[in-house]
Amino acid sequence: MAFFTHQAARHLSSSAVRQVLIKQVMIIGGGQMGAGIAQVAAATGHTVTLVDTSQDILNKALKGMEGSLKRVAKKKFADKPEAGAEFVQGVMGKVSTSTDAAAAAQTSDLVLEAIVENLKVKQDLFGGLDKVAPAHTIFASNTSSLPISDIASATSRLDRFGGLHFFNPVPVMKLVEVIGTSATSQDTFDSLLNFSKALGKTPVSCKDTPGFIVNRLLVPYMMEAIRLHERGHGSKEDIDIAMKLGAGYPMGPFELLDYVGLDTAKFIMDGWSAMAPDNPLFGQSEMLNKLVAEGKYGKKTGEGFYKYK
């Protein structure tokens, strides 16, 4: 009887998801990524609740969003400043803020987190929200390096959990990686694909593998550039120039590492090394580790592989 009840409950909860039209969106994390996602969602007609632990953080996020929208309006309504102001006001009117994640989750079709890359923090967050969110609500993570299945394991809605990996800056970058685990239902996956398209983005389908598609190819490429330099086979300047002029990349690997953040690159590699220590693609770099230990993270600290004024 217990087995039948469990199976019936699972069937009912799965059926409730059928092609959820995502209109009410809760975004957790008022940093650059969270605010960017909130801006794009609101600009495409979605009702957004942006959540963080501090109202000061949320106020800063709102100010940043408004500034970004004003720049968009200046280009889009160059000859119609009043229409531009109306556009900004309309989008901002779609965004509310809250420091109460549990309350906000109760009216959301989608709960999307863009918080610190810490598995336990994400699991604790979703584990708590799983108890209060409606049955139809889809959960998603914007993680760039952690397995979606590991985050989802803290909840009872494995079939309603997926990944939505946006790229920075969100209002500009067109790609969204939509990640499904082995337990993600097709209805949930399709809802996430359709939501991404509704945002005006181009979604690609990904399996729940380390780094998904972009970072799985990009991070080992950047790490191999460091190893090439460590072996004395090329200066960082020559390697950057070679990849820009020879491969047509907008930035060389060292320029890109400084832009992304050396601490971020090391964090990703540390996680992947722990998951697959025998994979040579995930090997450590003494040069990268040394720079991070010295607090030289790239552009955000004024020095990484290059120095910035």
Is 34 assigned a ligand-binding role in the annotation?
A: yes
Helix (H) or strand (E) holding 202: strand 202-207
Helix (H) or strand (E) holding 95: strand 95-98
3-state secondary structure of 163: strand
Is 75 assigned a ligand-binding role in the annotation?
A: yes
Instruction: Tell me, yes or no, if 215 is annotated catalytic.
Output: yes
Asked if 218 contacts 230 with a C-beta cutoff of 8 angstroms, the reply is: no
CA triplet 143, 148, 149: central angle to 5 degrees? 160
Is 223 assigned a ligand-binding role in the annotation?
A: no
Active-site annotation holder among 144, 185, 191, 196: 144
Is 266 assigned a ligand-binding role in the annotation?
A: no
Instruction: Tell me, yes or no, if 153 is annotated catalytic.
Output: no
Is 76 assigned a ligand-binding role in the annotation?
A: no
Query: What is d(CA 247, CA 239) in angstroms, rounded to the nearest whole number?
Result: 11
End-to-end CA distance of the chain: 69
**CA atoms within 13 Å, Cβ hemisphere of 281:** 13
Is 173 assigned a ligand-binding role in the annotation?
A: no
Active-site annotation holder among 191, 215, 229, 255: 215
Is 32 assigned a ligand-binding role in the annotation?
A: yes
Asked if 272 contacts 261 with a C-beta cutoff of 8 angstroms, the reply is: no
> Rg of the chain over CA atoms, in angstroms?
21
Instruction: Tell me, yes or no, if 229 is annotated catalytic.
Output: no
Query: What is d(CA 76, CA 87) in angstroms, rounded to the nearest whole number?
Result: 10
Active-site annotation holder among 108, 141, 165, 191: 165
Output b/e per residue, 47-74; b: 16+ Cβ within 10 A: bbbbbbeeeebbeebbebbbebbeebbe
Is 149 assigned a ligand-binding role in the annotation?
A: no
Instruction: Tell me, yes or no, if 165 is annotated catalytic.
Output: yes
Is 117 assigned a ligand-binding role in the annotation?
A: yes
Is 150 assigned a ligand-binding role in the annotation?
A: no
Is 300 assigned a ligand-binding role in the annotation?
A: yes
Output b/e per residue, 103-121; b: 16+ Cβ within 10 A: ebbeebbbbbbbbebebee
Contacts of 224 (CB under 8 A, 6+ apart): none
Active-site annotation holder among 46, 145, 177, 285: 177
Is 36 assigned a ligand-binding role in the annotation?
A: no
Sequence ranges of the binding site: 29-34, 52, 68, 75, 117, 122, 144, 168, 300
Sequence ranges of the binding site for CoA: 68, 75, 144
Sequence ranges of the binding site for NAD(+): 29-34, 52, 117, 122, 144, 168, 300
Q: List residues with catalytic annotation.
A: 144, 165, 177, 215
